[in-house]
Structure 1
Amino acid sequence: MKNLLLLFCTAFLIVSCGSSSGTKSIKAESIDPEEYASTITSDELKTMLYTYASDEFEGRNTGEKGQKLAVEYLKGQYKSMTVPTPLGDDDYFQEVPLEKHKVAEGNLTINGNDYLNFEDLVVLAAPYSINMSIDDIVYVGFGIDDDNYSDYKNIDVKGKFVLAKAGEPRDADGNFITSGKTDNTKWTNGRQSISSKREAATENGAKGLIFINNEQFSKYAPYYQSQAASGSTGRLSLKSNTDGMIMILANEDLGKEIYASIAKNNTPKLIETAINFDIENKSETIISENVVAYIKGSEKPDEIVVISAHLDHEGIKNGEIYNGADDDGSGTVAILEIAEAFKTAEKAGHGPKRSILFLHVTGEEKGLLGSRHYTDNDPIFPLENTVADLNIDMIGRTDPKRTTGTRNYIYLIGSDKLSTELHHISEEANTKYVNMELDYTFNDDNDPNRFYYRSDHYNFAKHNIPVIFYFNGTHADYHKPTDTPDKIQYDLLETRTRLVFYTAWEVANRAERIVVDKATE
């Protein structure tokens, strides 16, 4: 009887322990994100977007009044949701120092002869004002530095000004030596040749570049002169912490004054000449802001999942406000709703295992400036700890050129380019929760639109951080004042926002960090 009783008690304990363990396992696995996704609603998205894309925000042009109102609005939303900032205290703003370029004034005196702004030269880049003289310049032929041909191979240009001319050498069959083909390359292709030769000079340590190109000078000079006369400001760029390089575009007369044999001689050499540079940089420094908020991970807080969208748009042009409801007001309010969903989960005791960074970047329309500042200059969290970036840029409309399939779709770009796992997670999350049509049309490496390189996720991807870019495609109101909140399809905006949330949920809560199996050099 004792043995029977002992056996019974033992069996009871085993069953009880097994049952207890099983209950914990089921409880851990039964967390249903649909409960939290239900907080993402078309009504809330609509209410926020009608404010965010209103005339009051003046098109949210980077560095201007409307953009300042926008970042304060976002800060207020996060504070009302009690979603904290990773910067501490009440600081939701990551400052992004920018330079607003105005046309520089430049004059050169060469061997006693004066060469004037707009008549003989234009200053394309002048990070600082200078008045200096040099007694030599390095002639670098075509100014090319390529695997198959380099003008910099046997000459030191560090800290010096260099002189380069337009074009590139051909072989006996008329093919360009750099490519082996007759088609123009980046060294000969118009504006691209300017940036390519500037980059080559910069990478070899040159202090400045005088580029002789009659064709491009005839286009740039009148445009720069009109801009200077009107007092217009030009492009924005990230303010460099270094001096940067001076670049001057000039005509052939100036080139011949420096080196009489420039047209015939392609061999790099040191040229003794007396040049006085008098350049005035008229640009100004402005400060813009990325907005950052986050939810700290419960188990792996040092691993970060970024959800990003750009907060800026085109501002006011010719008296018309470019509201940017779809581009990218839709992505901006989507992140706010996703943050609310994660915060609701956290309050219920089901916060994400990994940390979530909600990143609203500035200056996307000016060249992905805010995201580049975050990744290249000032990552708040180490890039090596960043698991993925889910980037949302235009998810409130439909593409009129998409003639097959239903309206219940989203274009996905980049999901499989760096991590096979991320792609599978994305597909599975969609099948399990949303069941939209995932359209990979623009994910093709040969896509002529090159959308993969045109939104903020790319600044993460170039650092081998897996990305997904969510996109509805362009439409007739793209980058026009008619991109207004009344044209947003809010049911689609809700569904697409939930898809991003579900994907982020899966990435943040899986046992192992996703693997980067397709890293680029």
Structure 2
Amino acid sequence: MRKPFLLLSLAFIIFSCGSSKETASTKTKAPANPTDYANTITSDELKEMLYIYASDEFEGRETGQPGQKKAVNYLKQHYIDMGIPAAKSDGDYFQNVPLEVMEAPKVDLTVNDVKFTSIDDYVSVSTAKDGGLETNEIIFAGYGIQDAAYSDYKDLNVKGKVVLIKSGEPKNDDGNYVISGTTESSKWSNFRQEFASKRDVAKELGATAVLFYHPDVYSMAASRFGRSSGRMSLKGNAEDMYYLLINTDLAKAILEDIETASESQTISKSLSLQYLNASNEFNSENVAAFIKGTEKPNEVIVISAHLDHEGVKDGEVYNGADDDGSGTIAIIEIAEAFKTAAEKGHGPKRSILFLHVTGEEKGLLGSRYYTDMDPIIPLENTVADLNIDMIGRVDPKHEEAGDDNYLYLIGSDKLSTELHNISEEINNKYINMNFDYTYNDDNDPNRFYYRSDHYNFAKNNIPVIFYFNGTHADYHKPSDTPDKIRYDLLENRTRLIFYTAWELANRANRIVVDKATE
């Protein structure tokens, strides 16, 4: 009497088992929780690595020196140990960066057959090609300003010409500056910005040489450079324009009333310039590791930091724990988190390039070599660069305010509104840090936007975020040591950057660049 019941029961069990097996085989894998992997980033591991990386053994990691070689091998070994392959197709973690140190060039300069002397009368501040020029006219372009509110170059053609400019910017009769309309000066006479801003305008307009009359800057340059510049640059990256800081004697030999003159004019005087370069060549290295994306491998997120520092000066090691040991080891921890996720079946949809660049302290040389000369990943495939430079300390402003849960963000909105919004959303979702955008201001006198490696990506219309804790009393001093790092803050800030990279790597669509520049 019980057989029918037993048969029905067996049938139900068989059906149920088969049904369960079918469900298990067809159900979608649960989405990854990035917090599981962010939590692998710990203050203990960061501290352990930084005490090694910023130790005296690494001799301050000066570009091209033995300490820097130890540093790149340390980074390479970490990636090998983690099983993260090299970014280069040949399996080499090192991207060779050819460099040269410039000795003072041999420059001969005469005006109306009167010979002027290098250092005593002028200082060459460009790395130009061997050669020279002869001309019978010099263009005086006033303050050398080109701005929407005022331009010294209006109706002035300086292409192929020698241009004379002077420091400062014009004021109205009421004493206000013409450009700002207030008593506040603009970047055109700001000590940190004027030099580069006026040079760049003249170069863009095709000037073949610029003579910049700024007595204070000339005196400082003459004292600093002496008879040898010691300037480091990328090998073979000579500029197309000669740029000289000149003293009062030379300036007045060209234009007697230069102190009071403001109107642009053509000066009929002969000028002869002969330039002979001098350099010592050597090599340094970027370190590049790579996790390939699972769905969109040709779209790449770059996470960058500079590996170098100031080296040894007067017998003291400049350890550079914050600048930029903190950013360097943060990348290693972020790489480990992504690798752990990949091993759990949650590899990033887009590829991640972990890029440690050399020569930042010498002029963003390693990142410039990467973007301008030998990009491992085509720039058009690069979605964004998250650049980390000093994230282990608290600056005086926030220390005084009792706020250590902060980070300066620079550049997040300059090319992509979407990147900025994602950055804010991720922070609100996971970390709730106070983002300080003080240095993101276009008129920031410190020009931090232009002073770290993200800029070489940004100038190529690649969206960037620069993460920065601000400067402090130990900035660029031998006292920037690992015992002064706030490892709790370093952990939290590194996790924030990981979360942001995770979102950029795994979101459905590539972020939009809606503010591209020409």
Shared fold, TM over 0.5: yes
Q: Where in structure 2 are the equivalents of 1:334-349 lying within 5 Å?
A: 334-349=330-345
Cα offset for 1:246?
A: 1.1
Contact 1:414 1:443 in 2 (8 A): no
- Matching residue within 329, 335, 338 for 1:333: 329
Cα offset for 1:24?
A: 2.5
- Matching residue within 466, 469, 472 for 1:469: 466
Separation in structure 2 between the aligned mates of residue 292 and residue 460 of structure 1, nearest angstrom:
16
- Check 1:272–1:367 CA distance in 2 against 1; reply closer, same or farther (3 A cut): same
**What is aligned with 2:382?**
386
Q: Gaps spanning 5+ residues in structure 2: where?
A: 1-7
**What is aligned with 2:23?**
20
Cα offset for 1:439?
A: 1.1
- Matching residue within 346, 368, 374 for 1:372: 368
Letter of the 2:97 counterpart: V
Separation in structure 2 between the aligned mates of residue 352 and residue 337 of structure 1, nearest angstrom:
16
Separation in structure 2 between the aligned mates of residue 324 and residue 103 of structure 1, nearest angstrom:
28
Separation in structure 2 between the aligned mates of residue 237 and residue 361 of structure 1, nearest angstrom:
14
SS across alignment from 2:125: strand
Cα offset for 1:266?
A: 5.6
**What is aligned with 1:483?**
480
Separation in structure 2 between the aligned mates of residue 89 and residue 185 of structure 1, nearest angstrom:
49
Separation in structure 1 between the aligned mates of residue 394 and residue 180 of structure 2, nearest angstrom:
40
**What is aligned with 2:59?**
58
**What is aligned with 2:81?**
80
Contact 1:137 1:163 in 2 (8 A): no
User: Please, what is the CA RMSD of the aligned residues?
Assistant: 3.7
Contact 1:338 1:497 in 2 (8 A): yes
- Check 1:156–1:296 CA distance in 2 against 1; reply closer, same or farther (3 A cut): same
Contact 1:408 1:436 in 2 (8 A): no
Contact 2:192 2:447 in 1 (8 A): no
Q: Do structure 1's residue 139 and structure 2's residue 161 form an aligned pair?
A: no
Contact 1:37 1:502 in 2 (8 A): yes
**What is aligned with 1:293?**
289
- Check 1:286–1:146 CA distance in 2 against 1; reply closer, same or farther (3 A cut): farther
Separation in structure 1 between the aligned mates of residue 411 and residue 163 of structure 2, nearest angstrom:
39
Separation in structure 1 between the aligned mates of residue 84 and residue 75 of structure 2, nearest angstrom:
11
Q: Which moved more, 1:206-215 or 1:445-454?
A: 445-454
Q: Where in structure 2 are the equivalents of 1:123-202 lying within 5 Å?
A: 123-130=124-131, 132=132, 134-142=134-142, 143-166=144-167, 177-178=178-179, 180=181, 183-189=184-190, 192-202=193-203
**What is aligned with 2:435?**
440
Q: Do structure 1's residue 103 and structure 2's residue 104 form an aligned pair?
A: yes
Letter of the 1:73 counterpart: Y
**What is aligned with 2:392?**
396
Cα offset for 1:126?
A: 4.6
Cα offset for 1:431?
A: 5.9
Q: Where in structure 2 are the equivalents of 1:498-517 lying within 5 Å?
A: 498-516=495-513
Q: Do structure 1's residue 302 and structure 2's residue 303 form an aligned pair?
A: no
Contact 2:126 2:239 in 1 (8 A): no
Separation in structure 1 between the aligned mates of residue 35 and residue 191 of structure 2, nearest angstrom:
53
Cα offset for 1:342?
A: 1.9
Q: Do structure 1's residue 68 and structure 2's residue 63 form an aligned pair?
A: no
Cα offset for 1:90?
A: 3.0
Contact 2:99 2:235 in 1 (8 A): yes
- Check 1:218–1:508 CA distance in 2 against 1; reply closer, same or farther (3 A cut): closer
SS across alignment from 1:402: helix
Contact 1:133 1:274 in 2 (8 A): no
SS across alignment from 1:374: helix
Structure 1 vs Structure 2: percent identity of aligned residues? 59
SS across alignment from 1:328: helix
SS across alignment from 2:327: helix
Separation in structure 1 between the aligned mates of residue 488 and residue 170 of structure 2, nearest angstrom:
57
Separation in structure 1 between the aligned mates of residue 223 and residue 492 of structure 2, nearest angstrom:
50
Letter of the 1:281 counterpart: N
Contact 2:406 2:435 in 1 (8 A): no
- Check 1:388–1:278 CA distance in 2 against 1; reply closer, same or farther (3 A cut): closer
Q: Which moved more, 1:76-85 or 1:39-48?
A: 39-48
- Check 1:66–1:178 CA distance in 2 against 1; reply closer, same or farther (3 A cut): same
SS across alignment from 2:137: strand
Contact 1:138 1:157 in 2 (8 A): no
Contact 1:304 1:387 in 2 (8 A): yes
- Check 1:468–1:118 CA distance in 2 against 1; reply closer, same or farther (3 A cut): closer
Cα offset for 1:500?
A: 2.6
Cα offset for 1:66?
A: 1.4
SS across alignment from 1:468: strand
Contact 2:138 2:269 in 1 (8 A): no
Letter of the 1:24 counterpart: K
Cα offset for 1:192?
A: 4.5
- Check 1:160–1:471 CA distance in 2 against 1; reply closer, same or farther (3 A cut): closer
Q: Which moved more, 1:210-219 or 1:444-453?
A: 444-453
Q: Which moved more, 1:62-71 or 1:250-259?
A: 250-259
Cα offset for 1:249?
A: 2.6
Letter of the 2:75 counterpart: L
Cα offset for 1:204?
A: 1.7
Contact 1:106 1:122 in 2 (8 A): no
- Check 1:251–1:389 CA distance in 2 against 1; reply closer, same or farther (3 A cut): closer
- Check 1:137–1:21 CA distance in 2 against 1; reply closer, same or farther (3 A cut): farther
Q: Gaps spanning 5+ residues in structure 1: where?
A: none
Q: Which moved more, 1:275-284 or 1:301-310?
A: 275-284
- Check 1:108–1:81 CA distance in 2 against 1; reply closer, same or farther (3 A cut): same
SS across alignment from 1:440: strand
Contact 2:327 2:389 in 1 (8 A): yes
Q: Which moved more, 1:313-322 or 1:436-445?
A: 436-445
Q: Where in structure 2 are the equivalents of 1:206-221 lying within 5 Å?
A: 206-214=207-215, 216-221=217-222
TM-score by structure 2 length? 0.82
- Check 1:422–1:147 CA distance in 2 against 1; reply closer, same or farther (3 A cut): closer
**What is aligned with 2:354?**
358
